[in-house]
A = this chain, B = another copy of it.
């Protein structure tokens, strides 16, 4: 999975019928130092993620594993809202205080 930040929503009325009722979030990817990348993904969400939350996004067939999603043409899905990311016993990110510091530079 990749780490991404929820930035917004995408609305589509004229769409494949099986996408009806699926919330679509605009996610911006985050690199290993916690910085926003230009890369994004529009993903389905059944977890209930909100703007600015950091989430885990699964891509490919993993987006259609959840019950009810087998028939939806999704290739990306939010699978969890991140509480903490810990790197070698240091806290890189915590949802609680939105604390983060660079931690994954090349050695």
Is A60 within 8 A of B58, CB to CB?
Answer: no
Is B47 within 8 A of A16, CB to CB?
Answer: yes
Contact of A26 among B26, B59, B66, B87 (CB under 8 A): B87
How far, in whole Å, are A82 and B14 apart by their CA atoms in the complex? 8
Category for how many chain A residues contact B: 35 or more
A residues contacting B by CB (< 8 A) are 1-3, 7-16, 18-19, 24, 26, 28, 31-33, 35-43, 46-48, 51-52, 56, 58-66, 71-77, 79-89, 92, 103-104, 106-107
15 contacts between A and B (CB under 8 A): A1-B74, A7-B103, A10-B85, A11-B82, A11-B84, A12-B82, A14-B80, A15-B47, A15-B80, A40-B104, A51-B89, A60-B61, A61-B64, A62-B75, A65-B72
